[in-house]
Amino acid sequence: QKEVEQNSGPLSVPEGAIASLNCTYSDRGSQSFFWYRQYSGKSPELIMSIYSNGDKEDGRFTAQLNKASQYVSLLIRDSQPSDSATYLCAVPGTGGSEKLVFGKGTKLTVNP
């Protein structure tokens, strides 16, 4: 059974700062990793995917993957109050299924 661990937070950062969200996973064979954002009372939406070691940048968001350490992170530069949400880390399930296994999520608050 794959596991995904996240610090549930809450993580609080001032507006304009860098928010760093972290995730570890149990299955060394995992090949792809996803970050979903969930606003309070809303459903999750995909914001980043990463498949290879290193960094992947998309606007203010950077995903970082270190397979040796089984660690994936999401950096949000120039954080805005509108970034306040819960960020969910996810990996594909075992056995070739297309399901996702999610962590509990980290709640981020960006203070104006």
Task: Tell me which residues touch other proteins (CB under 8 A).
Answer: 4, 8, 32, 34, 42-46, 49, 88, 90, 92-93, 95, 97-105
Query: At its nearest, how many Å lie between other proteins and the CB of residue 91?
Result: 9
DSSP states of 22-36 as a string? EEEES-TT---EEEE
Instruction: Map tokens 């999401």 to a residue.
Output: 74
Nearer to other proteins, 4 or 19 (CB): 4
Query: At its nearest, how many Å lie between other proteins and the CB of residue 6?
Result: 8
And the tokens for 27?
Answer: 């299955």
Query: At its nearest, how many Å lie between other proteins and the CB of residue 17?
Result: 25
Q: Does residue 16 sit in helix, strand or coil?
A: coil
Query: At its nearest, how many Å lie between other proteins and the CB of residue 48?
Result: 11
> How far is Cα 23 from Cα 5, in angstroms, rounded to an integer?
6
Would you say 11 and 111 are in contact if contact means Cβ atoms under 8 Å apart? no
Nearer to other proteins, 17 or 27 (CB): 27
At residue 5, what are phi and psi to the nearest 5 degrees? -115, 135
Nearer to other proteins, 40 or 69 (CB): 40
Nearer to other proteins, 39 or 111 (CB): 39
